[in-house]
Each structure stands twice: as C-alpha cells, then as structure tokens.
Amino acid sequence: MSLRDRLASLPLLRRAAFEADAPAPGALHVLMVCTGNICRSPTAEGVLREKLKQRGLERAVWVDSAGTHGYHTAEPPDSRAIRHAAARGYDIASLKARPVIARDFARFHWMLAMDEANLAWLQRKSPAPNALRIELLPLAGGLAEREVPDPYYGPDAGFEHVLDLVERACDGLLCRLVAEGLGRPQPLPASPGGR
C-alpha cells in the first residue's frame, strides 16, 4: 500500500485532500459544520461543491465539512441524506464524518454553522474569533431563516427541507463570494501568536 493510500485511509483525512482537482493556491477554504457531520454539513458540502463545479469555480473554493462532536467519526453520511442528495444530483456517499479540530480554525476562512448551537460552539472554541468568518449558513446565504434544522430524528421530509434550505443558502453564498472577489488569492486566517 502506498503512502498516499495509507494517508487517505486515516479517519481525519478526507478523499478530497488527495483528488486531482485540489484547490488552487490562494483558494478560499469553507467548512460546513453541524453536530455529528452525517446529515446537514455533508449535504451542504456536497451542494456547494456541485454548484461551484457548475460555475467552473471548484478550484477557487475548497469545501469540507465537520461536526462539533465526534459521535460518527469515519462514518459515511446518514443513508437518508445520501439518498435524498443523490435524487437531486449531489454525490455525498464517499464523504466521511470527522470532528472540528483546532487546526481547522487556522485552515478555513469561513466556518458556516447549521444552527445556533453549532455557531455558539464554534465561537467558544475559536482561538481568534475575529480572524475568520463564523456565521450561520442560512444568514451567510441571505436567507430569512436562521437555521437548517436537524432532520436526524424526523421523517424523510426533513431531509428534503434541509436540501431546499441548503440549496438556496449556497446559491446566495456563492453570489456573495463572487461579489466579494472570489478568485483572488485569500490569505489564511492569522493564528494566535502570529503564525
């Protein structure tokens, strides 16, 4: 087994880090965050990736997702999330859950939370809360709704509602990113102690 294969199999490393379409130097880094990283945030990751690809911007923005808790580390997204996303043309089946780690606060320009509890958790854990953008995904995307509700304990209709909100939020977010100069090199957030 090659080193690349061994590294790709580690739970905290994702397939995306080893793909040929790796981000361009200076790409914007966006992290989608929910609680367990098996429903909402992988859905948002898949939707934003596909929308970027449709616009030819997949190398200008690197998208990942993580959870505030490691309940499901290395597991694929919930089968219902995979099924509903696939029905709309989003492939999230190969994603693997992981928790937010301290290094993420230095690697990402944006951390987009799915709900108020996730937002508060990120703000508490951030060593430099003003160095990067930590926002709610719906608000970052210009929606009136503040949260993407967790569909985990509900019926399948909840996964459809998540997709409706996430698609609209990602459309709005993409317009906002383009208006803010997407494509220009982005410096990574400064870490505490001056990196």
Active-site hit among 64, 104, 115, 150: 150
Distance CA 163, CA 68 (A): 20
Active-site option among 14, 39, 40, 170: 40
Cα 140 to Cα 134: distance, rounded to the nearest angstrom: 9
Distances (CA, A) of 18 to 4, 13, 21, 23, 101: 8, 9, 8, 10, 19
User: DSSP strand E in 22-120: where?
Assistant: 28-34, 61-67, 110-113
In this predicted structure, what is the pLDDT of residue 12? 45
Domain ranges of the chain: 30-104+111-179
Q: What is the pLDDT of residue 156?
A: 96
Q: Using DSSP, state whether 59 is helix, strand or coil.
A: coil
User: pLDDT tens, 10-41?
Assistant: 444 444 444 445 788 889 999 999 999 999 99
Does pTM surpass 0.75? Answer: yes
Most confident of 23-32, 65-74, 126-135, 185-194: 65-74
Is the confidence at residue 1, as pLDDT, over 70?
A: no
Catalytic annotation present for 78: no
Judge whether residue 116 has pLDDT over 70: yes
Handedness of CA 136, 106, 186, 49 (dihedral sign): negative
Number of Cβ atoms within 10 Å of the Cβ of 115: 21
Is 34 known to be catalytic? Answer: yes
Q: Of 34, 64, 80, 115, which one is the catalytic site residue?
A: 34
Predicted local confidence at residue 130, as pLDDT: 74
Q: Is 150 a catalytic residue?
A: yes
Q: Given this model, what pLDDT does residue 15 score?
A: 44
The better pLDDT of the pair 99, 5 is held by: 99
The neighbour count for residue 50, using CB atoms within 10 Å, is 20
CATH of 30-104+111-179, one of 3.90.76.10, 3.40.50.2300, 3.40.50.720, 2.60.40.420: 3.40.50.2300
pLDDT band per the 50, 70, 90 thresholds, residue 115: very high
β strands within the chain, DSSP E:
28-34, 61-67, 110-113, 133-136
Chain segment 126-178, per-residue pLDDT in tens: 998 677 799 999 999 999 999 999 999 999 999 999 999 999 999 999 999 99
